[in-house]
Structure 1
Amino acid sequence: MADAVFFDLDGTLADTAPDLAGALNRLQREHGLEPTPFELLRPQVSHGVRGMLGVGFGLTPDAAGYAPLAARFLELYNDTLCVETRLFEGMEALLHSLDERGIPWGVVTNKAERLAHPIIDALGLSGRCACVVGGDTAARPKPFPDPLLHACTGAGVEPTRCLYVGDDIRDIHAGRAAGMTTLAVAYGYLGSAEPIDAWQADAIIAHPREILAFLKNR
């Protein structure tokens, strides 16, 4: 068993796509645009604001109109952070199993702390979660290992004894750079252009229940 398990948030621990897509669609309506279909937005959720505005408005962060749109998008999203957001099917059972075994678990996301903490709280996980590390917590966000190393320091565990689970290639890069065992989740958003089997994760899983089985077989 690992000494701790850390999860990415969007697309790994929880399905946040409906609320992020809803905020983008409301922003589009404010600008007289037709809403982008959900199936086109879902793969971009792991890329945050950049992904949403890239699909919905065709803008990159260096575009002149990007900054005000990004600020407004975050305002709209902040108002509906956890309306339709839910834990992925099977995740609560996994977390319960980790709790029973005394294995601490936490969240390491590139989402800003001011957004991540309210979501974890709304999902009823704050009292059980060992840490919530955001993209602005450490000096550098994923794919750098800084956030994961910060989480280990806070939890009092060694990175080489930990498991990191994520749905984006930068999650795997960050986990490997931190010296952790890594799992790539095939049920996630998979917004990377590189196929999941090329990410060099230690294993690929299709359902949260497989995480506990992986730990038992280590």
Structure 2
Amino acid sequence: MKQYKAVIFDLDGTLLDTLADLGLSLNTILTRHGYGPQSLSAVRRYLGNGAERLCRLSLPKNVKDEEFQTLFKEFKAYYKDHCHIATKPYDGIADLLKGLQEQGIKTAIVSNKPDEAVRALRDDFFPAVTLAVGQKEDIPRKPSPLMVEKALHDLGIKKEDAVYIGDSEVDFETARRAAMDVILVSWGFRDRSELEALGKAVIVDTREALSAHLLGSVQKSD
């Protein structure tokens, strides 16, 4: 089993279950502007390409850009203040991160969320994670590999010594473009059948299985 020096994690659907808070924030702003709410199943499908994409997919195609920008700004502000209501780490994640830390394996979070939100969620839920990188104007969102490459550079780790962990087609493509090993988890925002259709990738269904791949032994769940 390959021993990695660093593990790069996606955030939503991989480490954190953020679906309920994202849905609440989105529907609050949609309703404020006179649009119908989105179901959680629809929000789940729309996630993976960043907050702007989530909002665009939730609105009619004929919405003018000026209105969209106003709505998007309101969504970001509302979500920033309401992102801790139901959001929580998936069971077993705390033990997994602890095991990586104990073995001296560096960790980072790379997410299409706004950078400020990613850093805040890291500080609140995963303070032991070395680095958190979110979307900013000067760096394109995933599946561009630039966020991952920045994280590896800041960690001082070569890509061949790291693995990327995610839960969607965006994560799979990000790892492919970065020429990195990838492991996809099926407990997030995509079903296992959708992940299997992407191509060659290790897919795990439990935190224990992920621990076994990364640490060589099964870690107990929280």
TM-score (ref. length: structure 2): 0.85
What is the Cα-based RMSD across aligned positions, in Å?
2.4
1:171 corresponds to: 171
Residues 161-212 of structure 1: per-residue CA shift (max 9 Å, x gap)? 1010011212112212222110111111129xx9211323530111222122
Instruction: Count how many residue pairs are aligned between Structure 1 and Structure 2.
Output: 213
Correspondence for 2:76:
74
- Structure 2: runs of 5 or more not aligned: 217-222
Contact 2:167/2:190, CA 8 A, preserved across alignment: yes
Matched residues in 1 for 2:79 and 2:62: separation?
A: 19
Contact conserved, 1:106 with 1:129, CA < 8 A, in 2? Answer: yes
CA deviation after TM superposition for structure 1 residue 29, in Å: 2.8
TM-score by length of 1: 0.87
Q: Name stretches of at least 5 consecutive residues in structure 1 with no aligned partner.
A: none
Partners of 1:24 and 1:161 lie apart in 2 by: 38
C-alpha displacement of 1:65: 2.8
How far apart are the structure 2 equivalents of 1:148 and 1:61? 33
- Residue 8 of structure 1: aligned partner: 10
Partner SS for 1:107: strand
Identity score, percent? 26
Shift of 1:23: 0.5
User: Given the superposition, is the C-alpha separation of residues 138 and 176 from structure 1 closer, same or farther in structure 2, using an over 3 Å criterion?
Assistant: farther
Runs (4+) of structure 1 exceeding 6 A deviation are none
Whether the 8 Å CA contact 1:138–1:150 is kept in 2: the answer is: no
